[in-house]
Structure 1
Amino acid sequence: MADDIPDLVLGISEATESVVFVEGSEQINSLRQLISIAPGLLHPEAAITLAQAVNHIEHGTDYRVIDDTASYEARYRAKLEKEDPNAAWQEGVLRLRDHGIPDFDDIKAPALSGGVLTYFAEDNYLGLPYRIEFDTANPGGDVIYSAVPVTPLPAAEPAPLAPNPLFVGSNEPLVPSDDYGGLELAEEPLEIDDVGEDDEPESQ
């Protein structure tokens, strides 16, 4: 059956449309036309090739078909490792950590069953996964892209506070020093005179 799977070339037309060339045929820019010209794509063994063609016609280079799930998981986790977990959210800064992590066991290679093509793709901006369904019996219908649920990552542990340079681990008081205006330990605790209720300030 592999010999019946047509060779496809993904490209862009002069009008900047996403098109597919099937074994040197005229450029194809609709799924209905694709299925009509290349019925061999409806065989289950052609699922990856069909997914790439459907994805290209529908969204061009906005998404990439996930045909190697282990490689995708490794790249996703590597991106997370490079992100600073303590960095605050910033508008316009795209981070996987601000979204979460998917259940990678749910992400499968393209498959065609019962006339329905199911595949997963990652967006080209951040790498978030999407689940896509295409009913080959209705090639003029909608191709549904649904975001794969992600689980928020736990908040990062707060960084420990820096030690206070004035804390010396002693109960002895600090007094001004003539040495560079710094502080030094007093030899004896400072005494503060009690002011009685009957004490009166000295007259000027």
Structure 2
Amino acid sequence: MGTERRAPLDRERVAGTALRLLNEVGLDGLTLRAIAKELDVKAPALYWHFKDKQALLDEMATEMYRRMAAGTALDPADSWQERLLKANRGLRAALLGYRDGARVFSGSRFTGTEHAPALEANLRLLTDAGFTLAQAVDADRTANAYTIGFVIEEQGMQSPPGRPREGVDIDERTRRLAGFPLAAAVGGLLFDDYDRQFEEGLSLVIAGIGTRYGIS
């Protein structure tokens, strides 16, 4: 009688399982116990690889980045504006690929060095365009923070994923705010067409960076 050999329990397998489970239960339902059950092991076994949930989230964020970066290539002909646009569009798309993806990514630290080549290239592009290194860091961080914050809000307004959260009814909101005509009129701008919202906001951020540092 043969026995089926399971894949060894390692950080990559745990993080991959956690990301898969994340799409089912969301971040609030993602516990080490639930992950252990999914892996058919006892919860203490996970502590050989992760000292706490935040350490696991760091590995999950790193795995998300690995998957996002796989097969993508940077265009050396990019302007700094184009690079920030492409990088943050890609980041948003990656975060939206997971339920609560932006919440997992926010505040996490990468456990590997896979991000270093792109970071080096982006900083080099920005400094070659005339930014000081400190300005390049601030520019990249600001665009990155905008994207993560936007997606946190975007995903928070959709429950389940891809559908407006219960209670977000634009027509009802318009009626309720009838005494405030401008506030009533912007429901569709605030709670609909997140692609347009994101693109406009990112363009504002990038234009602001250029104006702030006098670099076109």
Give the TM interval when normalised to the shorter protein.
under 0.3
Structure-2-length-normalised TM-score: 0.23
**Which is greater in Rg?**
1
Q: Which has the higher strand share?
A: 1
The answer to which structure, 1 or 2, has the higher relative contact order (CA under 8 A, 6+ apart) is 2
Structure-1-length-normalised TM-score: 0.24
Q: Which has the higher helix share?
A: 2
